[in-house]
Structure 1
Amino acid sequence: MKRLVLSLVLIVSMGVGGYAANCKDLPSEADLRAAMIASANATAGGLFNGARMWAAVVHRDGEICGSITSTGDPTQVWPGSQAIAKAKAYTANAFSLDPLALSTAMLYTFTQPGHSLNSLGQSNLFNPQFLAAPTGQGGGNNQIAGGLIFFGGGVPLYKNGKIIGGLGISGDTACTDHEIAKRVRNNLGFNPPGGATADDIVYSPPDPPSVFAHPVCLNTFRNSLFIGNEAPASYPKAP
């Protein structure tokens, strides 16, 4: 019996040690919150200027290292954004490499109907088991939540030119989510080798046509410059 207990203790210790080692180079939840607060202002755009966000970080194996809201009251951030932030972190990490940083915004066009990766979203489904209670922080640490998101807000994280994980931000428009994610990553020093804008969002228009294009959102800013607003929907007129 003692031998069994000792074996279990060793297994748990090894698991915790492996988790700590994989997460130790990534930002803490406190660092994430501070960086989100510092990044939110009028040039973030969107509905709330980036002030009501969920953030999540995963390590290279895709396990959640931390998640937190930018506000002290998580109920004042969209509850649905917790799952989206975790899935964005997972996606950005899952499809980026040392020489190729792919933000979730860059995957938008590829995954639309008629494009080559249209069914990609069915390949790694999100596991809702790893969500925190609506009134609580965190949830699912040391677990792979999965989930794939193909609009702005997820960016890969790098250290010394090597990818070490992913960051997901959600709580505003997809365009503002991307801006905040980009700012948080830059403020904390986790940019890819090509710099802060290596995997930046592409808007077409006003940018030239691109396979990496993402729609313009409501009150869209990029790198503190106003881009425009989402085009209003048009519907066929009744005869």
Structure 2
Amino acid sequence: MNAKRCIKLLAALLTVVGATSAFADDDGGNVVGCTMPAGTVALVQKQLAVVVNLSDANGGIFKPNRMWSAVVDRDGHLCSVIKTGDAWPGSRAIAIAKAYTANGFSNDALALSTANLYAPTQPGGSLYGLNNTNPFDARFLANGTGQGRVLGGVVTFGGGVALYLGGKVIGGLGVSGDSACADHAIAFRMRKLAGLAGIPGGVAPDKTDNIIYATNSVPVGFEHPHCFPSDLSPSKIETP
């Protein structure tokens, strides 16, 4: 074999090795599985089938709603991803990122839903640029991947809430597949039905992390824009 052919083969081999190493299992202890209390994840996810079939359709586009639902533990590890109906494939990653966001920016002093983060992350807002932090790990976009890993992702519109037990955050719930406003209603209701809504306080007028609809054309503070005329009011979201 001549020298030129050897060089070409070596270059091809290095390309393959490089591509392989870029996607290798190099998480450094990132894969540990879910550390939430036994039975909690199943309890939360069980509520999806109930909530998407409510008569008010959660104010959304579809009836019943077609949703992805994801749960992460306090360290952000993906515990579960399920779907109901022909949900948009792109919403899988969004649901996971919403769960990660709500968990990541809530604590035992204040709960922030992803809906609460809309206004402050707009240009000129105090949290502008937050969406560029903690990027989603695109290696695990495909359905059925990422279990037990921290996938990250930051989403700042409705659909993610932190899960509380004994006054402490134990993880996050994210749903996606309808309007952002309906997504919020579904996540908020699922958490309540699962008995994991004992938050310490929130930025909404009633001291919860419920959605706060903008009163003017430009959302301010912790407000979120309306999605459609069918949006449920915060009080109706509270009482499924």
Q: Is the 8 A contact 1:23 1:65 kept in 2?
A: no
1:35 to 47, 60, 85: 47
RMSD: 2.6
Write out aligned runs for 1:34-183 (5 A): 34-40=46-52, 41-43=54-56, 44-49=58-63, 51-71=65-85, 76-133=86-143, 138-183=144-189
1:220 equivalenced with 2:203 (yes/no):
no
* Distance in 2 (alpha carbons) for counterparts of 1:125 and 1:152: 18
* Distance in 1 (alpha carbons) for counterparts of 2:180 and 2:232: 11
2:194 to 171, 175, 188: 188
Q: Label 1:128 to 1:26 Cα distance change in 2 as closer, same or farther (>3 A).
A: farther
Q: In the TM superposition, what whole-angstrom CA distance separates every residue of 1:66-117 from its partner, at most 9, and x where no partner exists?
A: 010023xxxx100110000000000000000011100000000000011111
Q: Label 1:114 to 1:26 Cα distance change in 2 as closer, same or farther (>3 A).
A: same
Q: Label 1:77 to 1:15 Cα distance change in 2 as closer, same or farther (>3 A).
A: closer
Cα deviation for residue 139 of structure 1 reads 2.5
Q: Flag structure 1 segments of 5+ consecutive residues without an equivalent.
A: 1-13, 227-239
Q: Is the 8 A contact 2:30 2:149 kept in 1?
A: no
TM-score, structure 1 as length reference: 0.76
**One-letter code of the match for 2:137?**
N
Q: Is the 8 A contact 1:157 1:163 kept in 2?
A: yes
Q: Is the 8 A contact 2:111 2:201 kept in 1?
A: no
Cα deviation for residue 223 of structure 1 reads 4.7
TM-score, structure 2 as length reference: 0.75
Q: Is the 8 A contact 2:212 2:234 kept in 1?
A: no
Q: Flag structure 2 segments of 5+ consecutive residues without an equivalent.
A: 1-28
Aligned residue for 2:18?
none
Aligned residue for 2:26?
none
* Distance in 1 (alpha carbons) for counterparts of 2:128 and 2:220: 17
Compare CA radii of gyration and give the structure with the larger one: 2
* Distance in 2 (alpha carbons) for counterparts of 1:15 and 1:215: 36
Identity across the alignment (%): 46
* Distance in 1 (alpha carbons) for counterparts of 2:118 and 2:89: 23
Aligned residue for 1:231?
none
Size of the alignment, in residue pairs?
Answer: 200
Cα deviation for residue 26 of structure 1 reads 3.1
